[in-house]
């Protein structure tokens, strides 16, 4: 039986971007060994990326908070062995089209499959199929 972990919002801030981007920083030093083991012992881990991963400062005009994180913070998700990033949320478009494009590029380059977003409704609704040992 597959072990699947689905976790909530990932939205790095200025106060933690540096450590989350640091390729030499260990998971144990960031979140502790027990929690790191939870992530690393799963077959599939999914995280909701509740920000745009971009250096572009092109905030959308809206009410409420604008989230923007450095794309290098995807390094932390790689360390956690995150396989899928859910982007169907209200902050992925906070930095307009360039923010979305940069986010997708950062995730795909890191080997993380973005879901819940697309060039149209059909693409955004496309399900993610997890296959392990020949079982879907």
CB 20 within 8 A of CB 38: no
**Rounded to 5 degrees, what are φ and ψ at 22?**
-75, 115
The pLDDT value given to residue 22: 95
Could you count the other beta carbons within 10 Å of the beta carbon of residue 2? Answer: 11
Q: What is the pLDDT of residues 57-100, one digit of tens each?
A: 887 777 788 888 999 999 999 999 999 999 988 888 878 888 89
Of 107, 116, 117, whose CA–CA distance to 82 is shortest? 107
b/e sequence 61-91, b meaning 16+ C-beta within 10 Å: eeeeebbbbbbbbbbbbebbbbbbbbbebeb
Judged by DSSP in three states, 31 sits in helix
Considering the entire predicted model, what is its pTM? 0.90
Mean pLDDT of the chain: 91
Round to the nearest angstrom and report the end-to-end CA distance of the chain.
11
Radius of gyration of the chain (CA): 15
């Amino acid at each position: 039986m597959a072990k699947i972990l689905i976790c909530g919002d990932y939205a790095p801030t200025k106060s933690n971007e540096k450590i989350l981007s640091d390729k030499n920083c260990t998971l144990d030093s960031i979140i502790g060994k027990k929690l790191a083991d939870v992530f690393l012992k799963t077959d599939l881990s999914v995280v909701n990326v509740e920000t745009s991963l971009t250096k572009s400062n092109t905030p959308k005009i809206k009410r409420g908070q604008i989230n923007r994180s450095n794309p290098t913070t995807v390094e932390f998700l790689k360390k956690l062995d995150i396989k899928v990033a859910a982007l169907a949320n209200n902050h992925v478009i906070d930095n307009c089209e360039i923010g979305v494009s940069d986010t997708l590029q950062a995730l795909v380059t890191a080997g993380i499959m973005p879901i819940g977003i697309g060039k149209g409704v059909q693409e955004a609704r496309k399900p993610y199929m997890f296959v392990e040992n020949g079982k879907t």
